[in-house]
Amino acid sequence: MQQQLKELEIKPNKLAFQAGISFAIYYLVLIYLLKFLNIDTAQSNLDAATIVIVSILSYVPFVLAVLFVQLKHKAALGGYMTYGRGFSAGFRTSAYTGLFLFVIMLLYYKVLDPSAMEHMLDVAIEKVGDDDAKIKAVKMMEPYMALFTGFGLAITYTIFGLIVSLIGASVFKKVPPAHQEAE
């Protein structure tokens, strides 16, 4: 009974919001760091080690953020957390992260570095080759490319966060003993 009252009072929203915005800012810093190091992730000729390192730098902090929110929420609930609460805390984190990444990517491509969008379009045109119809299609997509990029990133992180949330919730769930519930 006491655990149910705690669950009604304590919500993971604030912590999930903070983790989501923190990761989005981290991601923006990572973009600038990669740009500073002349690592162009839009190119298809990257070596395997670079791809692995960039993937680790992108996804491991995100996984840690989701798990951190789940653990902090469990601690706030007194060390006990149902599977549903754990999933909810993790999924909220991934949903907020997806939203903030969408906004950050729009801001990045439209305001902070419009030349990055031009570079992405040049790479896309380079990939389609000499086919005039495909080049025309890529150029028609130009006004929407920032939206598609931001939306794709947001969906990717949200779905990946959903999976991490399911796993984290199953690992971190802990139901209070039956004799403690009766108190």
As a whole number of angstroms, the distance between CA 63 and CA 66 comes to: 5
For residue 64, give Cα distances in angstroms to 11, 20, 93, 94, 167: 20, 12, 11, 11, 13
- The confidence band for 86, taking pLDDT boundaries of 50, 70 and 90, is very high
- Rounded mean pLDDT, 60-73: 96
40 pLDDT more than 90? no
Percent of the chain topping pLDDT 70: 92
| Domain locations along the chain | 2-182
Q: Which residue has the higher pLDDT, 86 or 179?
A: 86
- Rounded mean pLDDT, 128-157: 89
126 pLDDT more than 80? yes
pLDDT at 90: 95
* Residue 27 CB burial class (10 angstroms; 0-12, 13-18, ≥19): buried
The amino acid occupying position 34 is L
47 pLDDT more than 50? yes
- Rounded mean pLDDT, 109-114: 92
